């Protein structure tokens, strides 16, 4: 399949949210990536339901919700009702991950699990068949515009290998420091959804930056 591009709203101009959502609507972006941070699971607070509602009002593309929060089970229903297409929870935040994944699916959303840079791909072995997507964090979650961690290439290849026989259609999303210098190698390693915050929204022409990521081949 062709890879998907999910610009990260965390890097948008919050005072011009409608403008930036419409830029994504009119671009080659496939999804809009929506980072929720609670100041507990990660050392930063971003935004939640009121902002999701505001984005949803204008967005014409699926909203890919990334929950960097403790005990995400408490809020799955609210994010689903708020218009999430996919919901990603962190492996590190879910003691009953199998139950959490089933709950996301029962709400009608795509179920995805994120792993931090220190979390081995192998820990997904007994859940990977149940997942629509795995999100490989290529920075420590919490902030935009951080430096890409090169070990992520190996991690993505390991996730792809784990999924090969049991879930060949698994999406693998990579999030953090993605730009046109590493995109081709990420796709070659087995990723097929690229999240990009800073490299899109700090570009002189964000629409062109999205097009460039979409046209990367490997
Ligand atoms: C980081 C977030 C990312 C972030 C990526 O904790 O999960 O989605 O927005 O931003 P860039 O592309 O700037 O690293
Ligand atoms: Zn994210």
Give the pLDDT confidence score for residue 107 in this predicted structure: 98
Three-state SS sequence of 123-174: HHCCCHHHCCEEEEECCCCCCCCCCCCCCHHHHHHHHHHHHCCCCCCCEEEE
Give the model confidence (pLDDT) of 91-128 as tens digits: 999 999 999 999 999 999 999 999 999 999 999 999 99
DSSP 8-state secondary structure symbol assigned to residue 205: S
The pair of structure tokens assigned to 82 is 């708020």
Residue 218 has pLDDT above 90, yes or no: no
- Residues contacting residue 57 through CB under 8 Å, at least 6 positions apart: none
Residue 197 has pLDDT above 90, yes or no: yes
Q: Which residues of 126-149 are buried (b: 16+ CB within 10 A; e: fewer)?
A: ebbebbbbbbbbbbebbbbeeebb
Tell me if 197 CB under 6 Å of ligand 1: yes
Which atom of ligand 1 is the closest one to the Cα of 11? 9
Which atom of ligand 1 is the closest one to the Cα of 33? 8
Global confidence as pTM: 0.98
Number of folded domains that form the chain: 1
CATH number of the domain bearing residue 150: 3.20.20.70
Domain that holds residue 185: 4-214
- Containing 24, the helix (H) or strand (E) segment is helix 17-25
Give the pLDDT confidence score for residue 1 in this predicted structure: 79
Give the model confidence (pLDDT) of 59-74 as tens digits: 999 999 999 999 999 9
The pair of structure tokens assigned to 88 is 């990603």
Q: Count CB atoms within 10 A of the CB of residue 79.
A: 23
User: 177: annotated binding-site residue?
Assistant: yes
Q: Of all residues in the chain, what percent carry a pLDDT higher than 90?
A: 99
Give the model confidence (pLDDT) of 11-61 as tens digits: 999 999 999 999 999 999 999 999 999 999 999 999 999 999 999 999 999
Give the model confidence (pLDDT) of 35-44 as tens digits: 999 999 999 9
Q: Is 64 a residue of the active site?
A: no
């Amino acid at each position: 399949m062709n890879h998907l591009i999910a610009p990260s709203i965390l890097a948008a101009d919050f005072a011009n949210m409608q403008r930036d959502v419409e830029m994504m609507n009119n671009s080659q972006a496939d999804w809009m990536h929506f980072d929720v941070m609670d100041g507990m699971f990660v050392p930063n607070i971003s935004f939640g339901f009121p902002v999701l509602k505001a984005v949803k009002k204008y967005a014409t593309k699926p909203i890919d919700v990334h929950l960097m929060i403790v005990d995400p089970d408490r809020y799955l229903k609210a994010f689903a009702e708020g218009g999430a297409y996919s919901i990603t929870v962190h492996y590190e935040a879910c003691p009953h991950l199998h139950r959490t994944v089933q709950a996301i699916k029962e709400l009608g959303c795509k179920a995805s699990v994120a792993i931090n840079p220190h979390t081995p791909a192998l820990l997904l072995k007994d859940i990977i068949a149940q997942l629509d997507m795995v999100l490989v964090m290529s920075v420590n979650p919490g902030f935009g515009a951080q430096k890409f961690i090169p070990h992520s290439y190996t991690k993505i290849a390991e996730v792809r290998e784990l999924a090969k026989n049991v879930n060949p259609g698994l999406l693998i999303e990579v999030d953090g420091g993605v730009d046109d210098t590493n995109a081709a190698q990420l796709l070659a390693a087995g990723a097929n959804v690229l999240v990009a915050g800073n490299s899109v929204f700090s570009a002189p022409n964000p629409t062109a930056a999205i097009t460039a990521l979409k046209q990367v081949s490997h």
